[in-house]
């Protein structure tokens, strides 16, 4: 380190930078994912959750476990908590959502908890939407872009899967407001050839923040990898073209962002962390996220829960009936600690992108067999180094206007006044 | 034309010592909770009719601001009288004045309704900035503290913002603690804005003594460069850069709010962009950044040769740095810089920052459409300081994007 004057001062400045970037460490779990049911009427090719049929009994969270989950959630000392319902299809267990939401709203300080839900919205009714609006839910709708690709990816009995989700989105927007409804788009092999069309379809439906994510190797996707999977490189090519299309739309005056790029850019261009739990070091799993499964199990992450569903209980922290301090000292947490600090992982510790990236020990356990496995050969690493390389190249070579749009994503400030004026 | 803070008057019945008095109209005096011995009832309003100074003396009031015609009755009642102010409008009801029998001088220490009021804590300073507008003096002026504590008790409690300035206020040590505690007791809803170089706060123990400021004060601390060599040269004090940064961190860690200040001149403008990046990367926790133009007073005049920069060039650099920080979500203000020297995108960041009593416009400003929203100039900035780019902004420039 080269510096002028006292040594103490630059060390303190560095300490502040580190403390600012790792501020999430100062509090307990802030993201609480609840799986109220494993049932779902979709039979998606890449289903991440090993879903159960709608008529199968025995895959519901009991009211007793739901109320215990509320106790655990409120035991966390995080200033701000997010409670996210997913599934299965969470709306098939709306009674559990209502029970937990009302209990939390009754017991937590106003504004301390944000509720969210990831759903296909096929089962949304005006009554349910009104309840969600009262509790200011943020909704993520699973929408895979082009309608025929969506219908092939996400079949339902009777078909028209895309159409039904679009109707759900419209209803949710009417009652909750457009700002409360976002889309999550899973990119399957079929979509790889259509990045521009995928972006245009989502933007045409009124979404202003897109989240384009590759297929995950978990759940059924792993087994069907030969049918749906593809090399990381193919995703990066897709992503580059999608990003170019999004920037083109920005050039035309629309304010559209890609949410994952926004997360990475916030890490690159600002002193702050994005808050995104899957890209942290120390890892978010267990330390920042808890997952409450339908059967009363508590997992350190959603991926950990999926491993549990196929018989690997490494990341099961315990039962929802156990107090938080017991869960937080479980063997799952110790295993996560071993592979959860990127700064000491082989392949990560010398990486130029380390300050912006995360450790993701659960993923490396799943695909490489060890939380502390070599990162260089993992798809996680290849995807992220690819994305960082792409974004840094754009920051280095693109025009001032494009750089400013990317900065606006990083800071959440949208288009700058200069560029509104320039148009 | 700005209203001065001093004038002279005829004094009658005052003892040998200076006194602090709160001027109040009769109507307000009767219902106010200020201690009557510190209240000077203002009888200058001709519509008031005859008020008997003996009755005011009986009610315990401390003095009268009146006309020569009040002389006989005031003397008879034993009530001190101020009359025949050289400028009558310098003192108005609500103001707090120091009356100095020696020299018959009246100084306004608090002016009700002014855009800024400050407690002037000391003339001493531990830095010697090349552009200091109020050069320090080494004399012991500890007497000021007691007067300020009295003054705090006479300031309108509904005042929203009160400055604390010097010299370097932290040189008072425990004296500053006393003053902050007095403001907390007497002016609980008033925010404080304290100008300090922050250097002494490299000692965390001193920060602990400032607890009365947490949650109600902003420490406004200058940082003139992103590197020690330039900052230390500007403030003429070795190690100041490190001390200030340590001080800022110590304050922040104790929950204090901080504003970073910058003054644009030939020594600081070349590194301004680097400083903006330094602040964003190292001090993103500060609540405000103020980028300021020069005030051509004190050392600034003496050091003109090393400080002078074309105001338009300084304005451009300041606007760029301000936009850099604002674009990243930081709160930024541009002070002491006329709008005609700033690109239009920076106008929303520019403030009318110069205190009423020392603010003016140039003759060129007469037809300007933006005059009312513009800082104008320090009264001390004559033609030679204003640069050659001052011009009126026309209506059509305001309307077009």
**Region at A371 (left for phi over 0; alpha for psi -120 to 50; beta for the rest):** alpha
Residues of A in contact with B227 (CB under 8 A): 4
Q: How confident is the model at residue A417, as a pLDDT? A: 60
Q: How confident is the model at residue A220, as a pLDDT? A: 45
Beta carbons of B229 and A4 less than 8 Å apart = yes
Give, in words, the CATH class of B118-399: alpha beta
Beta carbons of B323 and A5 less than 8 Å apart = no
What is the C-alpha separation between B370 and B400, in angstroms, rounded?
Answer: 14
More confident residue, A134 or B358: A134
Q: CB contact, 8 Å: A355 with chain B?
A: no
**Nearest chain B CA: its distance from A8 CA (Å):** 9
Residues of B in contact with A12 (CB under 8 A): 245-246, 249
**Nearest chain B CA: its distance from A256 CA (Å):** 18
What is the C-alpha separation between B223 and A88, in angstroms, rounded?
Answer: 56
A421 → closest Cβ in B228, B249, B345: B345
Q: What angle do CA A128, A133, A138 make, to 5 degrees?
A: 100
Beta carbons of B249 and A413 less than 8 Å apart = no
Contact between residue B152 and residue B187 where contact means Cβ atoms under 8 Å apart: yes
Residues B75-122: tens digit of each pLDDT: 999 999 999 999 999 999 999 999 999 999 999 999 999 988 999 999
**Nearest chain A CA: its distance from B149 CA (Å):** 36
Task: Work out how many CB contacts closer than 8 A connect A with B.
Answer: 53
Q: Determine if the peptide bond prior to A88 is cis (ω within 30°).
A: yes
Residues of A in contact with B285 (CB under 8 A): 20
Mutate to test the interface with A, among B226, B276, B328 (most CBs of A within 10 A): B328
Q: How confident is the model at residue A224, as a pLDDT? A: 58
Residues of A in contact with B397 (CB under 8 A): none
pLDDT surpassing 90 at residue B223: yes
B214 SS3 class: coil
Closest CA in chain B for residue A414: B327
ipTM: 0.86
- Beta-carbon contacts of B338 under 8 Å, excluding residues fewer than 6 positions away, are B315, B374, B375, B376, B377, B390
> What torsion, rounded to 10 degrees, do the Cα atoms B395, B397, B399, B401 define?
180
A161 SS3 class: helix
What is the C-alpha separation between B322 and B89, in angstroms, rounded?
Answer: 38
What is the C-alpha separation between B196 and B176, in angstroms, rounded?
Answer: 12
Beta carbons of B249 and A16 less than 8 Å apart = yes
- Mean pLDDT over each residue of chain B, to the nearest integer: 94
Residues of B in contact with A416 (CB under 8 A): 323, 327
Q: What angle do CA A118, A279, A82 make, to 5 degrees?
A: 40
DSSP B17-30: S-EEEEEEEHHHHH
Q: How confident is the model at residue A27, as a pLDDT? A: 86
Q: How confident is the model at residue A97, as a pLDDT? A: 98
pLDDT per residue, tens digit, chain A (423 aa), is 777 777 889 999 999 999 999 999 988 899 999 999 999 988 887 775 567 888 888 899 999 999 999 999 999 999 999 999 998 899 999 999 999 999 999 999 999 999 999 999 999 999 999 999 999 999 999 999 999 999 988 989 999 999 999 999 999 999 999 999 999 999 988 999 999 999 999 999 999 999 999 986 654 445 556 666 788 999 999 999 999 999 999 999 999 999 999 999 999 999 999 999 999 999 999 999 999 999 999 999 999 998 998 899 999 999 999 999 999 999 999 999 999 999 999 889 999 999 999 999 999 998 889 999 988 888 899 999 999 999 999 999 999 999 999 999 999 988 876 555 444
Q: Which whole number is the average pLDDT over B14-26?
A: 95
**Nearest chain A CA: its distance from B248 CA (Å):** 11
Q: CB contact, 8 Å: B245 with chain A?
A: yes
More confident residue, B51 or A235: A235
Beta carbons of A6 and B280 less than 8 Å apart = no
Residues B264-313: tens digit of each pLDDT: 999 999 999 999 999 999 999 999 999 999 999 999 999 999 999 999 99
pLDDT surpassing 60 at residue B225: yes
**Nearest chain A CA: its distance from B322 CA (Å):** 13
Q: How confident is the model at residue A244, as a pLDDT? A: 97
B328 → closest Cβ in A16, A17, A270: A270
**Residue B324 CA: distances (Å) to CA of B275, B276, B332, B342:** 11, 7, 10, 15
Q: CB contact, 8 Å: B249 with chain A?
A: yes
Residues of A in contact with B231 (CB under 8 A): none
Name the nearest CA neighbour of B64 among B47, B81, B85, B46.
B81
What's CA B227's distance to the chain center, in Å? 28
**Residue A345 CA: distances (Å) to CA of A99, A332, A354, A370, B187:** 42, 18, 10, 11, 56
Beta carbons of A411 and B329 less than 8 Å apart = yes
What is the C-alpha separation between B31 and B156, in angstroms, rounded?
Answer: 14
| Polymer length of chain B | 401
The architecture of the domain spanning B6-110 is 3-Layer(bba) Sandwich (3.50)
Beta carbons of A407 and B239 less than 8 Å apart = no
Contact between residue A125 and residue A75 where contact means Cβ atoms under 8 Å apart: no
Name the nearest CA neighbour of B105 among B14, B195, B36, B170.
B14
pLDDT surpassing 50 at residue B16: yes
Residue B194 backbone dihedrals phi, psi, to 5 degrees: -105, 120
Q: CB contact, 8 Å: B239 with chain A?
A: yes
Q: How confident is the model at residue A367, as a pLDDT? A: 86
Q: How confident is the model at residue A421, as a pLDDT? A: 46
Q: How confident is the model at residue A43, as a pLDDT? A: 85
Beta carbons of A272 and B285 less than 8 Å apart = no
Domain definitions of chain B by residue range: 6-110, 118-399
What is the C-alpha separation between A242 and A244, in angstroms, rounded?
Answer: 5
Name the nearest CA neighbour of A162 among A179, A185, A145, A180.
A145
Closest CA in chain B for residue A416: B327
Beta carbons of A9 and B285 less than 8 Å apart = no
């Amino acid at each position: 380190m080269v510096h002028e004057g006292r040594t103490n001062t630059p060390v303190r400045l560095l300490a502040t930078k580190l403390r600012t970037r790792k501020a999430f460490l100062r509090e307990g779990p802030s993201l609480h994912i609840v799986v109220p049911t494993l049932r779902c009427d979709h039979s998606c090719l890449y289903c991440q959750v090993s879903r159960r049929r709608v008529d199968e009994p025995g895959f519901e969270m009991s009211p007793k476990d739901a109320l215990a989950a509320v106790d655990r959630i409120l035991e966390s000392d995080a200033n701000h908590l997010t409670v996210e319902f997913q599934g299965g299809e969470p709306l098939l267990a709306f009674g559990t959502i209502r029970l937990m939401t009302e209990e939390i709203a009754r017991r937590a300080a106003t504004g301390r908890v944000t509720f969210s839900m990831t759903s296909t919205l096929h089962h949304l009714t005006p009554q349910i939407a009104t309840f969600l609006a009262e509790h200011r839910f943020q909704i993520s709708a699973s929408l895979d872009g082009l309608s025929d690709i969506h219908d092939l990816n996400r079949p339902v009995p009777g078909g028209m899967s895309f159409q039904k989700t679009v109707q759900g989105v419209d209803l949710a927007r009417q009652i909750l407001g457009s700002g409360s409804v976002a889309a999550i788009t899973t990119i399957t092999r079929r979509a790889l050839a259509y990045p521009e069309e995928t972006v245009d379809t989502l933007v045409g439906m009124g979404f202003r923040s897109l989240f384009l994510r590759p297929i995950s190797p978990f759940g059924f996707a792993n087994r069907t990898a030969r049918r749906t999977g593809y090399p990381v490189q193919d995703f990066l090519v897709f992503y580059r073209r999608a990003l170019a299309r999004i920037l083109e739309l920005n050039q035309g005056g629309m304010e559209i962002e890609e949410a994952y790029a926004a997360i990475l850019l916030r890490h690159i261009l600002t002193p702050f962390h994005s808050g995104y739990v899957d890209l942290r070091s120390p890892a978010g799993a267990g330390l920042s996220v808890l997952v409450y499964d339908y059967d009363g199990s508590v997992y350190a992450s959603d991926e950990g829960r999926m491993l549990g569903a196929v018989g690997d209980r490494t990341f099961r922290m315990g039962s929802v009936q156990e107090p938080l301090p017991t869960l937080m000292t479980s063997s799952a947490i110790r295993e996560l600690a071993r592979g959860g600090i990127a700064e000491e992982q082989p392949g990560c510790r010398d990486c130029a992108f380390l300050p912006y990236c995360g450790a993701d020990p659960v993923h490396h356990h799943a695909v490489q067999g060890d939380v502390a496995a070599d990162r260089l050969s993992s798809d996680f690493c290849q995807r992220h180094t690819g994305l960082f390389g792409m974004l840094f190249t754009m920051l280095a070579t693109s025009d001032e206007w494009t750089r400013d749009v990317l900065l606006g994503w990083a800071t959440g400030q949208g288009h700058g006044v200069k560029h509104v004026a320039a148009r | 034309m700005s209203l001065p803070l001093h004038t002279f008057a005829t004094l009658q019945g005052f003892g040998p010592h200076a006194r602090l008095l709160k001027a109040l109209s009769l109507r307000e005096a009767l219902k106010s909770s200020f201690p009557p011995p510190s209240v000077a009832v203002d009888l200058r309003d001709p519509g008031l009719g005859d008020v008997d100074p003996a009755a005011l003396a009986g009610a315990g009031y401390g003095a009268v601001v009146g006309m020569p015609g009040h002389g006989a009755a005031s003397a008879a009642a034993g009530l001190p009288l101020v009359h025949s102010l050289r400028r009558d409008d310098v003192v108005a009801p609500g103001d707090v004045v120091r009356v100095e029998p020696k020299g018959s001088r009246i100084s306004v220490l608090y002016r009700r309704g002014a855009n800024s009021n400050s407690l002037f804590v000391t003339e001493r300073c531990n830095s010697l900035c090349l552009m200091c507008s109020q050069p320090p003096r080494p004399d012991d002026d500890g007497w000021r503290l007691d007067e300020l504590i009295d003054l705090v008790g006479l300031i309108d409690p509904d005042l929203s913002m009160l400055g604390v300035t010097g010299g370097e206020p932290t040189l008072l040590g425990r004296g500053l603690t006393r003053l902050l505690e007095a403001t907390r007791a007497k002016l609980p809803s008033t925010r404080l804005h304290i100008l300090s170089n922050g250097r002494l706060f490299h000692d965390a123990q001193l920060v602990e003594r400032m607890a009365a400021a947490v949650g109600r004060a902003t420490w406004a601390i200058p940082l003139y460069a992103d590197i020690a060599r330039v900052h230390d040269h500007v403030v003429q004090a070795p190690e100041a850069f490190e001390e200030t940064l340590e001080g800022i961190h110590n304050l922040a860690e104790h929950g204090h709010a901080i504003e970073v200040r910058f003054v644009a001149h030939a020594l600081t403008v070349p590194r301004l962009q680097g400083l903006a990046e330094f602040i964003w990367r190292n001090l993103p926790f500060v609540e405000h950044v103020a980028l300021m133009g020069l005030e051509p007073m004190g050392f600034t005049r003496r050091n003109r040769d090393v400080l002078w920069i074309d105001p338009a060039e300084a304005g451009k650099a300041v606007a760029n740095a301000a936009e850099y920080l604002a674009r990243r979500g930081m709160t930024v203000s541009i002070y002491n810089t006329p709008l005609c020297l700033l690109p239009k995108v920076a106008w929303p960041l520019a403030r009318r920052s110069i205190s009423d009593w020392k603010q003016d416009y140039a003759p060129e400003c007469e037809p300007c459409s933006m005059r009312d929203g513009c800082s104008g100039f320090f009264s001390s900035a004559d033609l030679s300081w204003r640069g050659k780019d001052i011009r009126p902004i026309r209506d059509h420039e305001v309307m077009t994007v």
